[in-house]
Amino acid sequence: RQTLMTGVTESQLIQEVIYSFQGIEGRVIRKELDGLGFTIDAKLGKSLTPIQKGLIERLVGVGFLHNQLKLHCDESDKQIGLIGQSLIAILRDELTNYYQLIASLQAQSNKQELTLRRMVVWVAEPQLHLQWLAYIAEQCSDKKGGALISAVHGFLQHGSTCVQKLAEKVLTAVCRPLCLMLSKWLLDGELNDPCAEFFIEARSINTDERLWHDKYLVRKAMIPSFISLDQATKILATGKSINFLRQVCKDNEEMPGRDALHKLFTNTFAKALFAPEQSIELHTALERVYRETSQRVLDLLKDNYRLLEHLQSMRRYLLLGQGDFIRHLMELLVPELSQPAANLYLHTLSAILETAIRVTNAQYEDEDTLQRLNVNLLSMAKDDSGWDVFILGYHANGPVGTILQPTNSIYKCLFGGLWKVKRMEFVLSNMRKQQITSNKLYRNIKEMKPVTHAIHILASEMIHFLHQTQYYFLFEVLECSWAEMVKQVNQAGSLDDVITAHNTFLSSVQSGVLLDLNSANFRLVLGLIFNQILSLESLQETLYMTASKAKEQHEAYKKICCSKDGFGVTKEEEQQYKKQLLNFHHFLSSTRSQVIHWSTMFRENVVKFIKLLAASSNMNLQLLSTRLNFNGYYTIA
Amino acid sequence: SSRTSITTSHPINNIPATSQENILINDLLNILIGLPANYIEAQELKDPYESREFIINEHVDPSLRQLVKQILPLASHYSIVQRFTEEKMRFEFGQVNNALAECMSAIIVDYTLFITQLESEFQSGNLTLHKMWYYIQKNFHSLGIVSDIATTINKSESCGGKVLSLLHENIAGYIGDSRAQDLCVTLMQAACVPYMKMLGMWIYKGIISDPIHEFLVEDNEVVQKEDMPVDYSADYWDKKYTIRRERIPKFLEPVFGIILKAGKYLNVIRQCGKSLSNKVQVIEYKKEEKHYIEAIKKAYKYASETLLDLVMKEQDLLGRLRSVKHYFLLDQGDFIVTFLTLCEKVLSKDVADVVQARLDSLLDLALRLSSAVNDPYKDDLRTELLQIDLLTQMKKILSIETYEEQNYRSVKKSNTLLAIESFSFSYEVRWPLSLIFNKNSLACYQMIFRHLFYCKYVERMVCQVWRSNKVAKSFPLSAARQYRSAFALRQRMLHCVQNLEYHMMVEVIEPHWCVFLQKISKVSNVDEILDCHNHFLNMCLKDCMLTITNLLVIITKLLSICVSFCKFMQRTQRYFVEAELGSLPNSFCESFNQGEAVQQDGPNDADTGSFEDSIAKYDLEFTATLMQLLDLINNIDRKDSDHDRLFNLLYRLDFNSYYTGKFHRMGLDHLKQDASG
């Protein structure tokens, strides 16, 4: 009972409470063993009245909040990034303000003006303040970067003005680093983000070729809640464009109006988040920077690097737009490409390409373009002929190369397909030519008529088929897609639009000319048909060769018969001639049956192809089927 | 002055009453700010929203006890308000509650300050319980009001607009007590701040920033505008933004309609990629209503005028309407004729045999061959082949919400349709005009179009017959007489169809169109445009007799009789010309060959009898149906002004009372028998 009576004076209690505000324990007010709060010492507390106990218990709550905040600040030694750092900084500032208040409390207590109750009034406001700060700190404790900003931004949704003001203050502070990063990125294309806090990240890719497509991407988790994904992508595109200009185009001119923008960002960025009105302004500013930068990149590529001309020449040479050149090139290449692939030499082919350029309209083409045009050979398998591996290439370097590089393989594939169809056309027209000339030559050999007739019919059928298909490929697919792309490109506001338009063009062509993944069936049938065309060609070749031999023999025989010495032919000669004639007739009849067999096979394949076309969901392919079978010649079961 | 603390163990009955008073005052000072005391004990709460009760130590002097008891309700008020502020500061109670709680906590802080003043008074020894009772009067009253408000809000679990309504009622309720009213107004003004901010964002910018769903307009965000399909817009307009009635604060009740519209309009404008030039202004709550109501009205005016301007001028609504009228209401004659000439053959096929792409290309051709080529919007016209014919569709629509609904709900494609029966135009519209040409109104246009177009088609058929009948001029006179009845019937049919068309186009659509144009030149907002447009379409539908099922059925029947008659004539033409003239004159060869194409469809069921018999049958059927139609129109209540235009048709069809005369001649019974057969 003695200790109880020693008692504690109110001024002592006040002093202890003031200490507890700063986290220091005293005789009566002790720290909780395993916590941040304070309790009243069990022994000494007995001497306190319930009135005092109640007051002290309410007051030490402030100390608890202080400890919590302080702990949060002290734990910040861990690497938490710039934005986390700025949060700690603002918390420290707030704590400093709070210490000032305590100092003034201390001064009052020295003047004996303070009672415990009065202190309750004094601390009411700072307590609320600390409480919300602690709440914010808690929400942010395991976050960093954009996510942290989003967490703080959420506090703006509170209805009370004091919380809003506090949140604004904190938000302004934490947004400062973000704002710096953003303006650096938007205006200079630089990323200064050691702790991966910014919502754009760069991958370590060194080649310029991949810069546009792969180097930068959006880090979704770090997008602050007030920036939509759409905007983030636009911001990404802006900085990417600047990098593209700097690194690939070596264009170091500064953005026009850079300073004004810089000012706008630093001044309004944080504010913009509180006043929605200004946020609209900020977003329009972002939009404007994006548009200007993209336009600049686009203009540069269009004007300085002639992107559109490049696309045009690729279409002309790789997609067979320049007909006379392709035709002539093919004519020149026939002897070379008929060889096995292993016997081809790039330099001979290049020489042929040169020749082809020089004699056709291609010679009026821009020198630069012509230099980019080259010959390539695909990797060859064992039995490949030259036709299978020959490829025209277009070498685009620099900024344009960066843009076009990913499409190279598609162009290769397209060229291969179109080249094959072109070759078929070429073969068939040569066959036709041969037929017409030979027809007169072998007019007298009556036995050949049925054979040649069958071949003519089959060849005509093939020509019809091929012309329709070729027409479809070149006009309905290529021209239409090209026109669509030109329209898109003219409307494009950014480089990405152009790239998308180009990609759409390529993929629509790819599916149109049946070279995409879904058209494997079509390709199979087409391949069969093409093989038949080729075999018919060689058959015709053999036929005419044999026929010319037979004709020679006949003429030789005739000569002997009508020779002037009047002895005529010997028996052996006559027999030999007859044997030859028999052989020839034999050959003819076998050829004829061969051709007839082939034509049924060909017809089967065409029917299969038409069926596939008709079953396709693509309206244009259905129309092609109608065109191929316009008079119902091929009966479709 | 250092005082030793008083230990709890002192029983109070040992202390004289005057000292008791000091102890009780000290106790009260704690109790009044929610802290424990020696002799007054707070009781546990059973319910978080309950008012707190206190027990005074039983040994306290009875008169002092009464005094203290008198003061204690203030502590209960404090307790309620304090709990309210603590709870409602949390996010989930919404911004309005947050703001209100903040304001209340400011009152609490003032009140605590007052208590500490009492304490100083107490320390200087000047405070007695009586004085205390006198001092606390003012706070007693105001805290009482605040705690009442808090309790009501707690009990009704209100948030957002409802809280504001409640406060508004309180303000109105305290008209007599100006101090209380001022207090309520202070609370109201504080609570209104976040709400008015939302309101401002909505009416000036069309943005809803309302995370806790407190605002009176709700955004039923389904899809972004970019991925919005065209036919979404009908729903979009009605359903994207909706009013939540329970969230409307009382004082905004009279204007919620224009609040909703203002934001809606602004959204449309923004989605068209236009920037808004108006500034967000701070709207405050004032006791005098005028201020905010006017601000809202002004904002609404700006929004509606801007949108109207956008729709009328930039999007050229009138031009669009004219363009749509050209095609759907057959206003551009030469286009329709060209189109029909090109498509007639395709349209008379089975719908399954028609390739829509072909129709599309023919339409394209017709657009470019006719004067429609000058229409800048012609490329938006499309063709469409619908699943059901017009009659079934109309029946289906008209039977909705009647007992017949069930019958039509499950109607399948019973028999194969002809292309002409399923054909319709459709029109591609882009945002924001798709608001006006939404799915519903386009459907109305389509219905009218199909009806008109079919009439036109039938008229052409009858005209075809008329043309081929000209060969009869070269028949011998005696023979020609046999065909007279057929030709007379043909003439009657022509008269009937043409008058039907005339009625619909000249007497119905044109006048309605003029009225519509007049109205639309005076509208002040987009909703009015929508109303006018819908009204126009509904009037046209109604006066074209599409909405009266009986009439529509009979007209369809009439037309089908005409069609089968025409087919019959085309089939028989060849034979009777051959019979009369021996051989075909060259000039007619072509038309018969053409006729043969038509001939193939439809079995020759009518050909069983002789030519005269068949004609008589057609005649009877036609006359009976027509008279039935006249009868029906005649029987429509003349007083009902809804259908007064129809009577013109009566006089037109029954010109010279031709049919009325016949009616009398034939006798009523005979007619009815036939009609049912």
Q: What is the mean pLDDT of chain B?
A: 80
ipTM greater than 0.85, yes or no? Answer: no
Measured between CB atoms, does B205 come within 8 Å of chain A?
A: yes
Q: pLDDT tens-digit profile of B125-147?
A: 888 888 999 999 988 999 999 99
CB contact under 8 A, B211 and A280: no
Smallest Cβ–Cβ distance between A121 and the set B116, B193, B205 belongs to B116
Supply the pTM of this predicted model.
0.74
pLDDT of the residue at B20: 84
Distance from CA of B415 to the nearest CA of A (A): 26
Smallest Cβ–Cβ distance between B99 and the set A52, A160, A280 belongs to A160
Smallest Cβ–Cβ distance between B4 and the set A7, A51, A284 belongs to A7
Q: In degrees rounded to 5, what are phi and psi of residue B157? A: 50, 40
pLDDT of the residue at B111: 92
pLDDT of the residue at A207: 67
Measured between CB atoms, does B105 come within 8 Å of chain A?
A: yes
Q: Higher confidence at residue B152 or residue B407?
A: B152
Q: Name residue A218's beta-bridge partners.
A: A200
Cα(B539)–Cα(B547) distance, integer angstroms? 10
Which of A3, A52, A160, A283 is most worth mutating to test chain B (most B CB atoms within 10 A of its CB)? A160
- Residue of chain A whose Cα is closest to the Cα of B86: A128
- Residue of chain B whose Cα is closest to the Cα of A158: B95
Measured between CB atoms, does B101 come within 8 Å of chain A?
A: yes
Strand bridging mode A216-218 / A200-202 = antiparallel
pLDDT at B597 over 60: no
Measured between CB atoms, does B116 come within 8 Å of chain A?
A: yes
Strand bridging mode B241-243 / B423-427 = unpaired
pLDDT at B550 over 90: no
CB contact under 8 A, A125 and B201: no
Sort out which chain B residues have CB atoms less than 8 A from A277's CB and list them: 205, 279-280
Sort out which chain A residues have CB atoms less than 8 A from B211's CB and list them: 157
Which of B30, B33, B281 is most worth mutating to test chain A (most A CB atoms within 10 A of its CB)? B30
Smallest Cβ–Cβ distance between B36 and the set A50, A158, A276 belongs to A50
Residues 280-339 of B with CB under 8 A from A: 280
- Residue of chain B whose Cα is closest to the Cα of A619: B357
Cα(A556)–Cα(A571) distance, integer angstroms? 15
* R_g over Cα of chain B: 41
Q: pLDDT tens-digit profile of A97-128?
A: 999 988 988 888 888 778 888 888 888 888 88
Smallest Cβ–Cβ distance between B5 and the set A49, A118, A161 belongs to A49
Cα(B419)–Cα(B481) distance, integer angstroms? 37
pLDDT of the residue at A52: 83
SS (H, E, C) B415-428: CCCEHHHHEEEEEC
Using CA atoms, how far residue B187 sits from A427, B74, B107, B252, in Å, is: 93, 19, 10, 17
Q: pLDDT tens-digit profile of A153-167?
A: 888 888 888 888 888
- Read off the pLDDT of each residue in B445-459 and give the average, rounded to a whole number: 90
pLDDT of the residue at A5: 43
- Residue of chain A whose Cα is closest to the Cα of B212: A157
CB contact under 8 A, B4 and A55: no
Cα(A261)–Cα(A293) distance, integer angstroms? 13
CA quadruple A451, A454, A457, A459: dihedral sign: negative
pLDDT at B11 over 90: no
Smallest Cβ–Cβ distance between A51 and the set B27, B101, B113 belongs to B27
Sort out which chain B residues have CB atoms less than 8 A from A158's CB and list them: 89, 91, 95, 98
Cα(B164)–Cα(B94) distance, integer angstroms? 12
Measured between CB atoms, does B560 come within 8 Å of chain A?
A: no
CB contact under 8 A, B30 and A160: no
**Cβ pairs A/B, distance under 8 A:** 101
SS (H, E, C) B561-582: HHHHHHHHHHHHHHHHHHHHHC
Q: pLDDT tens-digit profile of B464-497?
A: 888 887 777 777 777 777 788 888 888 888 888 9
Q: pLDDT tens-digit profile of B203-255?
A: 888 888 777 788 888 877 655 544 454 455 556 666 778 888 888 888 888 88
Sort out which chain B residues have CB atoms less than 8 A from A54's CB and list them: 30, 35-37
pLDDT band of B262, cuts 50, 70, 90: confident
Residues 16-35 of B with CB under 8 A from A: 26-27, 29-30, 33, 35
CB contact under 8 A, A161 and B33: no
pLDDT band of B677, cuts 50, 70, 90: very low
CB contact under 8 A, B6 and A120: no
Measured between CB atoms, does B37 come within 8 Å of chain A?
A: yes
- Residue of chain B whose Cα is closest to the Cα of A4: B7
Residue B189: half-sphere exposure toward Cβ, Cα within 13 Å: 11
pLDDT band of B594, cuts 50, 70, 90: very low
- Read off the pLDDT of each residue in A429-457 and give the average, rounded to a whole number: 87
pLDDT of the residue at A482: 92
Q: Name residue B217's beta-bridge partners.
A: B243
CB contact under 8 A, A160 and B102: yes
pLDDT of the residue at B584: 53
The answer to whether B145 and B151 are in contact (CB under 8 A) is no
pLDDT band of B516, cuts 50, 70, 90: very high
pLDDT band of B409, cuts 50, 70, 90: low
Sort out which chain A residues have CB atoms less than 8 A from B36's CB and list them: 50-51, 53-54
The answer to whether B663 and B649 are in contact (CB under 8 A) is no
pLDDT of the residue at B514: 92
pLDDT of the residue at B2: 34
Q: Which residues contact A304 (CB under 8 A, 6 or more apart)?
A: A249
pLDDT at B676 over 50: no
- Read off the pLDDT of each residue in A54-68 and give the average, rounded to a whole number: 87
The answer to whether A217 and A236 are in contact (CB under 8 A) is yes
Q: Name residue A216's beta-bridge partners.
A: A202
Cβ-based interface (< 8 Å): residues of A facing B = 4, 7-11, 47-55, 58, 115, 117-118, 120-121, 124-125, 128, 157-163, 276-277, 280, 284, 619, 623
- Read off the pLDDT of each residue in A23-46 and give the average, rounded to a whole number: 81
CB contact under 8 A, A10 and B205: no
Angle at CA of residue A31, ends A27 and A37, nearest 5°: 135
Q: Closest Cα partner for B247 from B208, B305, B304?
A: B208
- Read off the pLDDT of each residue in A121-147 and give the average, rounded to a whole number: 85
pLDDT at B609 over 70: no
Cα(B368)–Cα(B598) distance, integer angstroms? 28
pLDDT of the residue at A275: 62
pLDDT at B603 over 50: no
Lowest mean pLDDT among B153-157, B192-196, B433-437: B433-437
Bond from prior residue into B73 cis (ω within 30 degrees of 0): no
Distance from CA of B8 to the nearest CA of A (A): 6
Measured between CB atoms, does B189 come within 8 Å of chain A?
A: no
Cα torsion through A32, A34, A35, A39, rounded to 10: -10
Using CA atoms, how far residue B231 sits from A436, A631, B214, B400, B442, in Å, is: 61, 41, 30, 22, 10
pLDDT of the residue at A484: 92
SS (H, E, C) B153-211: HHHHCCCCHHHHHHHHHHHHHCCCCHHHHHHHHHHHHHHHHHHHHHHHHHHHHCCCCCC
- Residue of chain B whose Cα is closest to the Cα of A283: B275
pLDDT at B49 over 60: yes
B552, amino acid identity = L
- Read off the pLDDT of each residue in A236-259 and give the average, rounded to a whole number: 76
Cα(A262)–Cα(A244) distance, integer angstroms? 20
pLDDT of the residue at A257: 64
DSSP letter assigned to residue B52: P
Smallest Cβ–Cβ distance between B102 and the set A157, A161, A619 belongs to A161
pLDDT of the residue at A483: 92
Sort out which chain B residues have CB atoms less than 8 A from A48's CB and list them: 5
- Read off the pLDDT of each residue in B585-604 and give the average, rounded to a whole number: 46
Whose structure tokens read 């202004």? Answer: B281
Smallest Cβ–Cβ distance between A159 and the set B33, B99, B280 belongs to B99
pLDDT at A382 over 80: no
